[in-house]
Structure 1
Amino acid sequence: MTPHYSDERTTLYQGDALAALRNLPDASVDAVITDPPYSSGGQYRGDRSASTGSKYLRSEVHTQQDFTGDNRDQRSFGYWCALWLGECHRIARPGSLIAVATDWRQLPTVTDAIQAGGWVWRGIAAWAKPNARPQQGRPAAACEFYVWGTAGARPLEGETLPGFWHVSPLRGADRMHQTEKPVAVLRDLVRAAPVDGVVLDPFAGSGTTGLAALREGRRFIGIELSHHYAELAARRLAGIQPRQVDTQTDLFDVARIA
């Protein structure tokens, strides 16, 4: 499969995740950090067929393009996750860490699927949004989650990574993808790979995991189905080098210039 973009530290493919993953060699990456489509965002089954903008952004004014693959029913979502998670397990080196983003609705399914894919489920890390929408008479749905595990045993060595983040989501023009995660969270997670190790993201979106990986001195392999977002990710990743920038704001500024 020909890369959509590549340089000495980055390889980005444009296409279906399962098809692209099957072309990657065994035991070739050091961490899998990814944010797949949730197929969530509604109270009823029919809500899954709504546009991603209406599901995840509600009344917020936005200009980001909708994305596909977010309307699977519960059984097909779990089966699909097990398939690509199994491919990621094959590609990961023994002891590698995986972290998969999800919301509260899909949390039980993802914890099952990660084990069906061959990983050892180790825990859940939470991203809490301080400005989450209130829900009158009930707790605010303030958290999204990273289900994490390992490819078999993992030595208890290296730095301790956070298991909780209290970081505001990006808003308006600062958001390049409808479900973009804060780069501060991802810069912590990519350090699960050793320095100069390879971080894989099969659902690269606008490339934020790649930006975090490069900034932290890791290499990056990304896959993105949408041509629009693959182009955006390629522009953001081009020219980003370790220690080039020091703040989240600067990182996005440099990414827009690239």
Structure 2
Amino acid sequence: MTQTISPADIEIKPRQRKILTLPQIEKMAASIEKFGLFSPPVMVPGSEPGKVQLVSGFTRLQGMMYLKWEEIPYTLYEEADEITIKEMELEENIQRTDLEWWEKAEAVAEIHELRMSQDPTWNMRKTAEMTGEALGTVSQSVQLRDEVKTNPEMKTEKTLRGALQKLDVKKKLVEKRKDIERRAKGLTPSLRAEIIVGDAAELIKLEPDESFDAIVTNLPFGIDLEFKGGHKPYEDDEQLIIDLVQTVVVESFRVLKDDSWFAAWFDIRKITYSNAQLQLYKKLAGLTKLADYKKLFFDSMGLNFWLQEAGFSYVTLVPALWVKPNKTQGMIGDPRKGMIVAAEAMVLASKGGAFLMKQGRNNVFIYDSLSGSERDYSMQMPADLCTEVVSMVSLSGGRILDPFAGSGSIGLGALNRECEFKGYELNPEAASIGNMLLKQHHLAGQEKDG
């Protein structure tokens, strides 16, 4: 039976729902004003006489309060126990379209567990029938709810599908680690490859002069990446990255042996400069009053110029390109005017009189980017591409450095070339995955030889 009560006597406890925006409340209020209240909110007895507790109908209640109703119609459930109240609340939330995927997964999982606590014969199929969800969705909801509890960053995934893919990758990594540990027993731990967690600008300064045969790396682009959920494993501000790259370039020249190569992928917009820019820079260099502008202009000259200023004797005038035929996403700007970016640029620079190990090759490298199922980390390059680049700049047995190692793709290329590898990586998660992949590669080689 429908009753009425003052809004002041309604208790609203913390619950699984979003904070409503003013437009949402206004929309509900307009609907109530035009069509009336089709279904009153559901209440149960409150914490003290004369009070009631809201179970379902939060948006409707907010709409009536917006209209300044002094008496709120409601339906009272006198005998509802805690489990019934929870189920009623969760059931309403499941039907809402504005829930985040993880909120809905949490609601479905809680209903399933509440029912199981009441009925030992209860199963996921019955939960699916009760909630109107697919059986697979119920199973996935239970898995993801448990994962979100231990790993809150899962909430940053935009969709249920994305969260499931991330969970699948995590499970595969766990199994891969177990497999590596099992296979490593009894084998010689002679791996000559590692990724060290830390800041490249600081770590490279600790290396002795002329201690590497080649440097191959994927420089940070400085495009201020928006990481999901606002979590950033490192800063990607443009000016910070420009300063970082300039430091690493100078140190790279120092730690490279004579007659060796520096190869780096970089943002194509920050690579080349024109003769007009060069002439203007030379004029600015002699004007002490414009010292502040000199740094600004130096930064704008790009990677090729920074390499030349560091002492590299030869720098490719036209960058090489890694072309990705399977790239179907990555539009920049207005999708009606722009094109999908399906290529990355690479610069080669030599210290001394180095020659390429593979000569006469064109400057286009055609390799598909890795699919989601092939990647162990989000920004992972094809090992075959890295192997070819390492083979161009180093003989077998050389010592390769990657100051921005990520998950170790260039390290795998170095091992394929039978080179020693050292990498730096600021993100501990990426470094951990990279070291695991390097160890896996090493074990596969030992097993093959054995």
Please indicate, yes or no, whether the TM-score normalized by the shorter chain is above 0.5: yes
Distance 1:224 1:177 in 2: 13
Distance 2:260 2:443 in 1: 22
Q: Provide the identity percentage.
A: 24
| Gap change, CA 1:177 and 1:116, over 3 Å in 2 | farther
Alignment partner of 1:205 out of 406, 424, 427: 406
TM-score, structure 1 length as denominator?
0.75
CA displacement at 1:117 relative to structure 2:
2.9
Q: What does residue 122 of structure 1 align with?
A: 316
TM-score, structure 2 length as denominator?
0.45
| Gap change, CA 1:118 and 1:69, over 3 Å in 2 | farther
| Gap change, CA 1:200 and 1:49, over 3 Å in 2 | closer
Is 1:233 matched up with 2:446?
A: no
The residue type equivalent to 2:408 in the other structure is G
CA displacement at 1:12 relative to structure 2:
2.6
Q: What does residue 224 of structure 1 align with?
A: 425
Tell me the alpha carbon deviations over residues 128-157 of structure 1, each in whole angstroms, 9 at most, x when there is no partner. Answer: 1113347544554221011111112214x6
Q: What does residue 28 of structure 1 align with?
A: 211
Distance 1:105 1:194 in 2: 31
SS at match of 2:414: helix
Alignment partner of 2:270 out of 106, 114, 123: 106
CA displacement at 1:29 relative to structure 2:
0.7
Which is greater in Rg?
A: 2
Higher mean displacement: 143-152 or 100-109: 100-109
Q: Report if the CA contact (8 A) 2:357-2:394 is conserved.
A: no
Alignment partner of 1:165 out of 357, 365, 377: 365
Distance 2:309 2:377 in 1: 29
Question: Which structure has the higher relative contact order (CA within 8 Å, separation 6+)?
Answer: 1
| Gap change, CA 1:38 and 1:198, over 3 Å in 2 | same
| Gap change, CA 1:180 and 1:110, over 3 Å in 2 | farther
| Gap change, CA 1:171 and 1:126, over 3 Å in 2 | same
The residue type equivalent to 2:226 in the other structure is A
| Gap change, CA 1:116 and 1:7, over 3 Å in 2 | farther
Q: Report if the CA contact (8 A) 1:14-1:227 is conserved.
A: yes
Q: Report if the CA contact (8 A) 2:194-2:438 is conserved.
A: no
CA displacement at 1:69 relative to structure 2:
3.1
Higher mean displacement: 120-129 or 132-141: 132-141
Distance 1:228 1:103 in 2: 24
Q: What does residue 154 of structure 1 align with?
A: 354
CA displacement at 1:7 relative to structure 2:
4.6
Q: Report if the CA contact (8 A) 2:201-2:244 is conserved.
A: no
Q: CA RMSD in A?
A: 2.8
The residue type equivalent to 2:307 in the other structure is I
The residue type equivalent to 1:151 in the other structure is K
Higher strand share: 1
Q: What does residue 100 of structure 2 align with?
A: none
The residue type equivalent to 1:14 in the other structure is V
Q: What does residue 94 of structure 1 align with?
A: 258
Q: Report if the CA contact (8 A) 2:200-2:403 is conserved.
A: yes
Q: Report if the CA contact (8 A) 1:127-1:144 is conserved.
A: yes
Q: What does residue 179 of structure 1 align with?
A: 379
Aligned length: 221
Q: What does residue 70 of structure 1 align with?
A: 236
Q: Report if the CA contact (8 A) 2:191-2:439 is conserved.
A: no
